[in-house]
Amino acid sequence: MEASKEFNAYKRTIYKVLKDKFLKTALERAVTAFRKNRDAALAAFPEVVEKRERLQEIKDKVIDNLDYYVGKAREALEKNHAHTYFASDADKANEILKNIIGTGKMIVKAKSITSEELEFNKVMTAYGNTVYETDLGEFIVQLLGDKPMHILAPAVHVPRERVAKIFSEVAGREMPADPKKLAMFAREFLRDKYFKADVGFSGANFITADTGTMFLVENEGNIRFVTNAPEIHVAVIGVEKLMPTLSDAMLGLEVLMRYSGYLTTSYVSMISCPAKTGDIEKVTVYGAHGPKELHVIFLDNGRTKAAADPVYRDMLRCLRCGACMYECPIYPLVSGNWGYHYMGGIGVAWTALVSGGFAKAAPLAYSCALCGRCKEICPAGIDSSKLIERLRKDLKKEGLVPSFIKEMAETVIKEGTPYKKKEG
């Protein structure tokens, strides 16, 4: 009855969250703002709706040939003096990271949901390093000892009053619940960390196979510091982030921006190799101003297996634009509590196949109303309802069905109705 125990614990959390007035306020504010921005971005660039179809084809080509594109990207990167690695799972990736980073180091970190798969902060801290999240939302979440509740806005669930309270504790003085003042405090606090840090850690939104160029999309400017100020830059990138060519990635970039609600983001960093100069007698010296070393770890962690499945493979097209979550009838009520590392409907499949496993995904699989609304907005054309229906079949095979489902199914089989006969 493990499956039922897990489900009941999850149900308690969800029911508690439903009563949380603060969360409700914060989420409704976020949903309204996000939808408005996204509608404006799509209206300003209507051709992006067509571009998403082209993007889906490109993504499918990559999903069908993951090995090939990983090989090509590694070749391009190595040629450019970057170090590359392939990690078949999270443990392997952590071993590689420990070897590169060592212990007693200071790490500044960009927001990366892929790093959640590795439990990066926990693992690196336990290995004797200090990790600073530099994305404002992640910084808040880290201080609260919480978990990110949205892939783009990790602190989507935290109202400003709570941010003020935790920042006051860190600052040792009273901070007003004013988003502007709070953001300035984070800026001051983190500024010198970039230059003191030994290692900058990031993920990437895309990486091209032809040139080995990673694309990092952001607004805050923290990623530029993270990937530029420390001597070593380490990136962990899921293999599904590969794009065949530079122009494919540009197309992906455009679609990602619009569907995440931006006319444009403040910055896009494109990084292909360590910093270098040839200005003194054409002798190439690495680490001119930026990092001396670039390490890129390609992470599989269940992706190749998912790619081989005719239904699950679609999940690998996800750009993490977050659009589906704001249209979902369920997510805005509970935020990332419906999820493990990955969240929302699409997150259920990612939990099952990549980060967490079937047992962790089991309680989450019955929170979807299977309404199909997410598919209509998804730039990658992912039908999360279909993924979840498939997962429920697998959970049945694995014996991970919660007891109330089992009872209902048995009643149907025995009585010809899911409703228990009331009398006689």
Q: Cα(72)–Cα(211) distance, rounded to whole angstroms? A: 9
The 3-class secondary structure across 303-338, one letter per residue, is: HHHHHCCCCHHHHHHCCCCCHHHHHCCCHHHHHHHC
Cβ atoms < 10 Å from Cβ of 69: 23
Name which position in 113, 315, 334, 382 contacts other proteins (CB under 8 A): 334
Contacts of residue 252, defined as CB under 8 A and 6 or more positions apart, other chains included, come to: 55, 58, 205, 206, 215, 243, 319
- Identify the burial level of 43 via C-beta atoms within 10 angstroms of its C-beta, where 0-12 means exposed, 13-18 middle and 19 or more buried: exposed
Name which position in 333, 357, 359, 381 contacts other proteins (CB under 8 A): 333
Name which position in 11, 160, 162, 165 contacts other proteins (CB under 8 A): 11
Site track for other proteins across 27-66, x = CB under 8 A: ----------------------------------------
The two three-digit tokens of residue 396, written as one number: 């049945």
Pairing, β 199-202 against β 106-109: parallel
Q: Cα(259)–Cα(320) distance, rounded to whole angstroms? A: 10
Site track for ligand SF4 across 363-402, x = CB under 6 A: --------------xxxx-x--------------------
CB nearer to other proteins: pick between 67 and 415:
415
**Residue 127 Cβ vs other proteins, minimum distance, rounded to whole Å:** 39
Name which position in 234, 318, 349, 361 contacts ligand SF4 (CB under 6 A): 318
> Could you tell me how many helices (H) and strands (E) the chain has, helices first?
20, 12
Name which position in 295, 303, 320, 392 contacts ligand SF4 (CB under 6 A): 320
Q: Which does 366 bind (CB under 5 to 8 A by kind): ligand SF4, other proteins, none?
A: other proteins
**Residue 392 Cβ vs other proteins, minimum distance, rounded to whole Å:** 3
Q: Cα(269)–Cα(266) distance, rounded to whole angstroms? A: 10
Answer yes or no: are the C-beta atoms of 272 and 212 closer than 8 Å.
yes
CB nearer to other proteins: pick between 321 and 368:
368
Residues at the site binding other proteins, with contacts judged by CB under 8 A? 11, 14-15, 18, 327, 329-330, 332-334, 366-373, 375-376, 385, 388-389, 391-396, 401-402, 404-405, 408-409, 412-413, 416-419
Residues at the site binding ligand SF4, with contacts judged by CB under 6 A? 318-324, 346, 377-380, 382
